[in-house]
Structure 1
Amino acid sequence: MLPANVIWKPHSGLGFEHLEISESNERLIFDSLVMGMNEQGEWVRTHYVIELDSKWATRKVTIRHLGKTDGLCLLSDGQGEWTNAEGEPIPELAGCVDIDISCTPFTNTLPIRRLSFAPHVPQEIDVVYFSAYELTWRRVRQQYTLLSADAGSSVFEYRAGSFVENITVDEQGLVLAYPDLFVRENLAMAEAGKA
């Protein structure tokens, strides 16, 4: 069962992400606030909402900066056909089922949950990559390979271009550790400490 709340912090520096998970009308809703700095050293509060269907295919993604008027929204039929908020088709994204948002480790969960993995067999996919701070999108090729699976966690090799990293996820596919980038907070221990 998915937790209701997940917190990630950057491996170094200041910031955090608070992800709320809920269900509505047979859709999984992932509503998150990310506080962090952009490349210019400016604080940015990024709010994103992802709607998935029961097969973990992305159906809608909205990203905006709090306190600003800019934002973007794309919709999908869950089979790889995309439109903008006005319903205009985006043919250059045809075939992309998953998304990747630059400021969060969460979107690694989407292909990990949606696809079936055999150990050491790479799976290549095209995703819609969103630059959260620039509010732009583009098509990107990514590869996931299951390296190991133990009780309670699995390790996947993730590749995108020349970038390669091994990420550890829990039994729900949520990132526990993303070396040099993100680490997940243990909310159960934090709650126990308050008792």
Structure 2
Amino acid sequence: MTEQTYRWRRLDHPGLELMRITAREDAVEARSTIIDAGETPFALRCHWRLDGDWRSRLLRIEREDGHSLTIERREHGWRIDGEERPELADCLEIDVSATPFCNGLALRGLKHQPSELTALYVDAADLSVQPSRQRYDFVGPQRWRYVDLGVADGFRALLDFDTDGLVMRYEGLFERV
């Protein structure tokens, strides 16, 4: 078992995430606290349960105002707050808007091959969910270009990853501290 702590700061406005990842051979658990002091400030606690291949199995998000969201991967799709959501069945992985952690999960899901995917996008400010298309283009060793083809259509950013597959720098939005 290994435990590691990561911190990311926002680059576009004040904000910080503190994440603790515990990895075992057959499962990974990640717990984070996110404070976003942007135009619509919020704070979140996220608890991820991943399988040994780093695929999301369960995510619980709690906002400081008491609102929460539970996302669970099922055999043929996703369950949101206990309710089956067939329109999310094609989603490969979860993408929470307030953390760069998700980009590493998406790349693992794509087996580190340039490709497109549909993500289960979570707007962290209001905890709404919807499918959203994304593309990852290989740029160089540990560097990828993220292209949003859905919710934020046309948005692009360069992402630098460490050797563990976690974001070091997300152009214009996040950087590891």
TM-score (normalizing by structure 1):
0.81
- Give the whole-Å Cα distance in 2 for the aligned partners of 1:52 and 1:176: 21
Partner of 1:192: none
Q: Are residue 82 (structure 1) and residue 75 (structure 2) matched?
A: no
Residue 80 of structure 1, CA deviation: 5.2
**What is aligned with 2:130?**
138
Instruction: List aligned pairs for 1:33-112, cutoff 5 A.
Output: 33-40=33-40, 42=41, 44-66=42-64, 68-77=65-74, 81-86=77-82, 88-112=83-107
RMSD: 2.0
Aligned residue number for residue 193 of structure 1? none
For 2:145, which of 157, 161, 179 is the aligned residue?
Answer: 157
Q: Please say which of residues 11-20 and 156-165 is displaced more in the overlay.
A: 11-20
**What displacement does 1:13 show?**
3.4
- The total of aligned residue pairs comes to 173
Larger Rg: 1
Using the TM superposition, give the Cα deviation of residue 54 of structure 1 relative to its aligned residue in structure 2, in angstroms.
1.4
Q: 5+ residue gaps in structure 1? A: 186-195
List per-residue Cα deviations over 1:37-66 (Å, max 9, x = no partner). 2433x3x21111121111222111111112
Structure 1 letter corresponding to 2:86:
P
Q: As a proportion of its length, which structure holds more strand?
A: 2
- Give, as a single letter, the amino acid of the residue that structure 2 aligns with 1:48: C
Extract structure 1 runs of 4+ deviating beyond 6 A: none
Once the two structures are TM-superposed, the CA of residue 27 in structure 1 deviates from its matched residue by 2.2
Q: Which residue of 2 aligns with 1:191?
A: none
**Residue pair 2:3, 2:23 contacting (<8 A) in 1 also:** no
Secondary structure of 2:87's aligned partner? helix
Letter aligned with residue 146 of structure 1: F
Q: Which residue of 2 aligns with 1:114?
A: 109
Identity of aligned residues (%): 28
